[in-house]
Structure 1
Amino acid sequence: MKHSGLIEPAAIQQLIHDGEIETVILAFTDHYGRFLGKRLDADYFADEALLNGSHGCDYLLTTDMAMEPVAGYEFASWELGYGDFHLVPDLTTIRKADWLDKTAIVLCDLFDDKAHAPVAVAPRNLLKRQLENAEKEGWAACAATELEYYLFENSYRAAFEQHYQDLRPAGYYLEDYHLLQGTRNEGFTGKVRRHLKNSGIQVENSKGEWGLGQHEINIKYADLLKAADNHVLFKQCLKEVADSQGLSLTFMAKFATDQAGSSSHIHLSLWKNGKNAFTGDHQLGPVKGTSDYFRWFLGGWLAHVPDVMPFYAPTVNSYKRFVDGSWAPTRLAWSFDNRTAGFRVVGSGSSLRIECRIPGADCNPYLALAASIASGLDGIKHRIEPPECFIGDIYAAAGLPRVPYTLSEAIAGFEKSSFAREAFGEKAFNHYLHFFKAEQKAYDIAVNDWELKRYFEQI
């Protein structure tokens, strides 16, 4: 328990009794992937919430980034009175939040108070439904998400008061893999690695990335639900540690026009009977050393990108990242160990996996992984063949289909997709379609700095 960070449900009461845990956080994510929830007195958690959970206002799944309720949702509204949903702790996720004092955290699933059924539109439930569908067919899947971020020497409050302009990055030259610059930031990064490890999240490595003050910390692959849980815990830990040190960081997909974007590459492999189903015999299929399942999964994942693109790139800012020559994919193609491809195949034998390089660091991992597994399994179901493996610089290739370049373009593809409607269910499909349209509308009516600088005097 001390080494894993995870706490057995039977042990949490003893830790509370001994005074080692004084606060228990009940957490879940909204559509943006942000943690919401409550802090409970540990004794109250042990006596009541451990078995009975708690409640939260259902408007939390109908708000925008500024926490304003958005009209037009069927799930919750002023007309329906904005009632409660039930926060049901997933006791397998209880862990010490090592970066906080005497605090444990547990992730919750959301249930409808009246129907006593999972809330269909909740992000974690959406992924769990896809995993249940996969399990019925005998499939399991493992994934890791590679999160990149920019670190700044300004505090969050100072950044806010400066309108997020002229911030001081933690590095002052391009530092990809540079150990010297990594050492300069080790006071933050090293502490985060230890906190994650002590909170039950196994860290593999950390490194400088391409941009000024840009970094990446990689954590070990896990089953899809655990990978998504680790992803949101990772982000919360980093933000709160930065805040405690008077620093700030951002997971925006594109923080600055002249800097590289921040991604959340998804490494995924499909498993059956405890073995990687992507590996096979050299005689199977046109792709050497892989199985038919690999080809069809890749074919489906690639083919359905236009159907589910908002789940990979959910904000207007997400699409500023898709620039040729920027390490972000701009074409829908696949290749072996080729970082210009949207889908990069890496590893060999039991480690063979597909890396989807499309999602940005701003994605909600529950939604992105739900889209990934649904797309790939549909490829297997319908035996969708991938295009030919591309060799060379995909940025320079003519004729390849491109990723959607704007949120409005992605919404249009999502809205007309019969696949997305069927895969996620009518209720969830309509809910997220409304969410993405509301996000686009908020941008369309806003006046931004670019407009002021361009038109204030010159027009």
Structure 2
Amino acid sequence: MGLSGQLLMARGEGFIQKHGLWTDDQHRQAAAIRERAEKDKLKLFRLAWADPHGASRAKTLTAPAFFGALESGHNTNVATTTLDASGARTFASFTRGGGMGLDEMTGSPNMIIVPDPATFRVLPWEPDVGWVLCDEYFTSGVPFHFSPRQLLRKQLARLSARKLRCMVGLEVEWYLLALADPHLTGEHVGAPGLKGRAPSTYPVEPGFSFHSESNMDLMHKPVAALADALEKLGLPLRSIENEWGPGQLECTFAPREALEAADNLVLFRTATRQLARRMGYLATFMSRPALKGYYSSGWHLHQSLVDAATGNNAFMPDAEGKPLSWTGLAYLGGLMHHALPSTVFANPTINGYRRFRMNSLAPDRVAWCSDHRGVMLRVLGAVNDPASRIENRIGEPSANPYLYIVSQIVAGLDGIDSKRDPGPPDTDPYSTKHPMLPKSLGDALVLMEKDALFRDELGPIFVDYYVKLKRTELARYEKFAADNNIDPASDETTAWEQDEYLDFF
């Protein structure tokens, strides 16, 4: 009997089979992974999951432990969800209810991370290391309350019940910086609640020469290495472009189903950062670094719904002169109606709100138009165009991809169910009287906390948790601002943000 058969026979005893967590396809994929791992003599395996910030966390397992995880998952601590991005304690984990009023969170217990075999790769820069994304569960087999990937799965199930799928295209800006010193010193070491000093860098090209071939050539070596690695990882990279700021790049990816697109973004960001660091560079997805001449980076999320059976685009208009189908316009109306509370998932950092400026290639208020880069929601649709879609230009590149996409589906489906009219297009978006986007993370959190739709769809447990997590971060920033006589509403990126975000994202 081959290894595939042995694994299929053995699987009945494990956590995964007990709770029915995999499809038959996933069981077959797991058997194939084991055969490949033994054939290629893979030595170590990273079990990765996205934390609430969208950052990749991982445990490295030996081959025997990994093979066990393919049957029973693997224990890990819930701590990555109870600490903020700096390691600051946000919840009283060692009290009854874990500071959340949830018995299952008492004492910082274990959760089980279950590999999703469909996400397995071998890392091109470490060819004896396997990598796989995981879903998080309580030891009871219940999906973990605070798992962004589980929240997206829930929304995709709502779409599936309507015989629809969500397609997502990624368009992400980021910065490539040269490290001034590859060595860390004591000043780079922080403490819980206090980040160490951000690494010193210098620009890799002078910037502000849009699509300059000669400037792009200055970055060719790391860019070519990145493109090669992404291809080997199976990510659907379409282009790497020289953007506006010094060392600012944009990567675009072909559309994929929503869960795969979110998974791809997690892998893209962690792969880019790892490869850059190995070559003496720093890649950052911080939106607006505190460096001379640095322009804000954004993440534009392209989205459409398609018929689950035929693959036909449900947003494609059926007559000339229409920007989208009725379904697409109603979905657009939902995005417009819920734009303000959903902002916090597209812009989860203090730094991201510095993008919202007039005439900045970023929106500053809720607006839509066909093929207009000044609006929040840019519509690209035409009769017989299977790529008809809505581009949301609100996001920052450090956003958690699962939560960003979740916010779109929740708002869009409400638009369809409520038959929301997006109103006429805005050809002068920086003058329209539509609502202004939140000015700060604090403002956005207030809007999310009060919103009935997101509280209902994501659950009050998650909304209250997420708001508290982000308010801990906000409080640390406000203390820094008060201690240093800085106006928290200032337009300039602070040293606190540079230390907090530059090397974390």
Q: Given the two structures, how large is their TM-score scaled by the length of structure 1?
A: 0.90
CA contact (8 A) 1:59 1:69 kept: no
Asked if residue 42 in structure 1 is aligned to residue 63 in structure 2, the reply is yes
Distance 2:104 2:167 in 1: 40
Q: How far 1:452 sits from its partner (Å)? A: 7.5
Instruction: Give the structure 1 partner of residue 77 of structure 2.
Output: 57
For residue 176 of structure 1, report the CA deviation from its aligned partner. Answer: 2.1
Conserved? CA contact 2:33–2:117, under 8 Å: no
Query: Is the counterpart of residue 96 in structure 1 residue 101 in structure 2?
Result: no
8 Å CA contact retained: 2:181, 2:200: no
- 2:394 aligns to what SS in structure 1? coil
Q: What is the alpha-carbon distance in structure 2 between the residues aligned to residue 269 and residue 78 of structure 1?
A: 37
Gaps of 5+ in 2: 1-27, 93-98, 189-196, 491-505
CA displacement at 1:84 relative to structure 2: 0.4
Describe the SS at the equivalent of 1:415: helix
CA drift at 1:131: 0.8
| % same residue | 28
Deviation at 1:69, TM superposition (A): 2.3
- Superposed CA deviations along residues 44-103 of structure 1, whole A, max 9, x for unmatched, are 312x11111101111211111122321264177998211100001111111122232311
Question: Hey, what's the Cα distance between the residues in 1 that align with 2:290 and 2:297?
Answer: 10
- In 1: Cα distance, 2:266 partner to 2:350 partner: 21
Corresponding residue to 1:28 among 49, 64, 84: 49
Contact 1:346–1:354 (8 Å) recurs in 2: yes
| Structure 2 residue 408 is the aligned partner of structure 1 residue 377 | no
Q: 1:374 to 1:243 in 2, by over 3 A?
A: same
Match of 2:400 in 1: 364
Q: In structure 1, the residue corresponding to 2:442 is in which secondary structure? A: helix
* Corresponding residue number in structure 2 for 1:247: 281
- For 2:79 and 2:412, locate their aligned partners in 1 and report how far apart those are by CA, in whole Å: 33
In 2, the alpha carbon distance for the partners of 1:419 and 1:288 equals: 29
Q: Displacement of 1:215 after TM fit?
A: 0.5
Give the drift of 1:10. 3.0
Inter-CA distance 175–41: structure 2 relative to 1 (3 Å threshold)? farther
User: What is the alpha-carbon distance in structure 2 between the residues aligned to residue 364 and residue 75 of structure 1?
Assistant: 25
Partner letter of residue 209 of structure 2? E
- Matching of residue 16 in structure 1 with residue 41 in structure 2: no
2:5 is matched with which residue? none
Q: 2:207–2:244: 8 Å Cα contact kept in structure 1?
A: no
How far is 1:404 from its partner?
0.7
Q: Is the 8 A contact 2:316 2:381 kept in 1?
A: no
| Alignment partner of 1:267 is 2:302 | yes
Cα separation, partners in 2 of 1:295 and 1:82, compared to 1, 3 Å: same
CA distance, structure 2, for counterparts of residue 164 and residue 95 of structure 1: 31
- Are the equivalent residues in 2 in contact too, given 1:155–1:248 (CA < 8 A)? no
SS at match of 1:385: coil
SS of 1:276 mapped into structure 2:
coil
In the alignment, is the contact (CA less than 8 A) between 1:29 and 1:123 conserved in 2?
A: yes
SS of the counterpart of 2:108? coil
Aligned partner (choices 265, 273, 277) of residue 314 of structure 2:
277
CA RMSD, aligned part only? 2.4
- Which of 19-28 and 314-323 deviates more? 19-28
Instruction: Report matched runs for 1:15-414 at 5 Å.
Output: 15-46=36-67, 48-71=68-91, 73-74=99-100, 80-113=106-139, 115-154=140-179, 157=182, 163-164=197-198, 167-256=201-290, 258-272=293-307, 273=309, 274-282=311-319, 288=322, 290-348=324-382, 349-392=385-428, 394-395=429-430, 397-414=431-448
Give the C-alpha shift of residue 450 in structure 1.
Answer: 6.8
Query: Partners of 1:70 and 1:290 in 2: how far apart?
Result: 44
In structure 1, what is the Cα distance between the partners aligned to 2:128 and 2:483? Answer: 43
Counterpart Cα distance in 1 of 2:200 and 2:80: 33
> Which deviates further from its counterpart, 28-37 or 169-178?
169-178
Larger mean CA deviation between 84-93 and 425-434 belongs to 425-434
TM-score by length of 2: 0.82
Quick one: which amino acid aligns to residue 104 of structure 1? G
Counterpart of 2:241, as a letter, is K
Q: Distance in 2 between matches of 1:94 and 1:75?
A: 36
**After alignment, is 219-228 or 15-24 more displaced?**
15-24
Q: SS where residue 395 of structure 2 aligns?
A: coil
Q: How far apart are the structure 1 equivalents of 2:60 and 2:71?
A: 16
- Helix, strand or coil: the match of 2:201? coil
Partner SS for 2:207: coil
Amino acid corresponding to residue 175 of structure 2 in structure 1 = Y
Which letter maps to 2:118?
Answer: T
Q: Deviations over 1:359-411 (max 9, x none)?
A: 1011000000000111101100110110211113x22x142321111111111
Q: How many residues align?
A: 441
* Alpha-carbon distance change, 352 to 123 in structure 1, aligned in 2, over 3 angstroms: same
